[in-house]
Each structure stands twice: as structure tokens, then as C-alpha cells.
Amino acid sequence: STGVYGLYGIRLTGASPFAGSISNSGSISIKGNESFGVSLESEMTGALTNSGTIAVTGDNSVGIRSLANAKIDGGLTISGTLNVQGTNSSAVQLLGDVGSKLSIYSSLTTSGNNQTNQSAVAFLVGGNVAQGIYIGGAPSGTVSGSTADVTGD
């Protein structure tokens, strides 16, 4: 337990859908309970991309989450590192729908705190994903953080 609560790296809220895409290619580091690296709390018409690093330490926290009403009309691509530590904490929680594909090209890590070592589900999809889920590493010869297929296959 950190004693700090409710911190956000990127937070999307509002009554109307956000028209555009969101991309994190930098570093988000948060220490606080019930905190979120990226939190989508309303619908967006574009894609969400994380090619950076997200590190969250705190109980009941999530690296990337979307609430049930927060549909991502475009795709979701995770090619950067997610590391979340804390009791009941998760790397990814997608409760809203994804209107395109969900692609994961990197490691997702969760761990409990030092006393209980109890973490939640590392990766949770609770909504529909229109074009499926791809989980794999970047192709051989690809620059770190890139999703380009240098072999052409």
C-alpha cells in the first residue's frame, strides 16, 4: 500500500466520443493505489497504441484499462512494456469493445505486493474484439517497439 490514491498517466473522460487516436511512446511511471497508466472512461473513434513503457505500483491498479462504456472504435496495439505491481492489480483490463483488432507484441507483467504476492489477472478481455486478438513477439530483426514485419511474411 502506497498511501496515495487515484493517479492517472493518460485519462480519457467525457460524454461524447473522443474523435481521434491516442498514442503513448514515452514512459509513464505511477506509484499509487487505485491508479492507472492509461484509463479510457468514454468511447474513442480512433486507435490506442502503446509503444512506450508503463510502470504502475499500487494495489487495485491497472496498466491499461477501458471501462464497459469505453469502446475503442479503432484497434489497440501494445508493443511497449507493461509492468504492474500490487495486490489485485492487472496489466490490461479491457471491459469495453474493440472495433478492430487487438495486437500484443510485448511482455505484460503483474506481481503482488511483498506481503501477499497476490495480483489479479494479467490480461482481461471482457468486451467484444471485432477482428480478433493477436499475441506474439515482434518479427526477428525488428527494432524494439516497432511492429513492422521486416521479413514480409
pLDDT at 140: 61
6 CB-near residues (< 8 Å, 6+ apart): 32, 34, 35
pLDDT at 8: 98
Strand 27-31: give its sheet, edge to edge: 27-31, 53-57, 82-85, 108-111
Q: How far apart are CA 50 and CA 103, in angstroms?
A: 11
Cell numbers linked to 35: 491508479
pLDDT at 153: 47
The full 3-state SS of the chain, as one line of letters, equals CCCCECCEEEEECCCCCECCCEEECCEEEEECECCEEEEECCCECCCEEECCEEEEECCCCEEEEECCCCCECCCEEECCCEEEECCCCEEEEECCCECCCEEECCCEEEECCCCCCCCCCCEEECCCECCCEEECCCCCCCCCCCCCCCCCC
Q: How far apart are CA 92 and CA 48, in angstroms?
A: 13
In order along the chain (153 residues), what is the average pLDDT of each group of 10 residues? 85 96 97 97 97 95 96 96 92 96 91 66 92 79 57 49
pLDDT at 139: 55
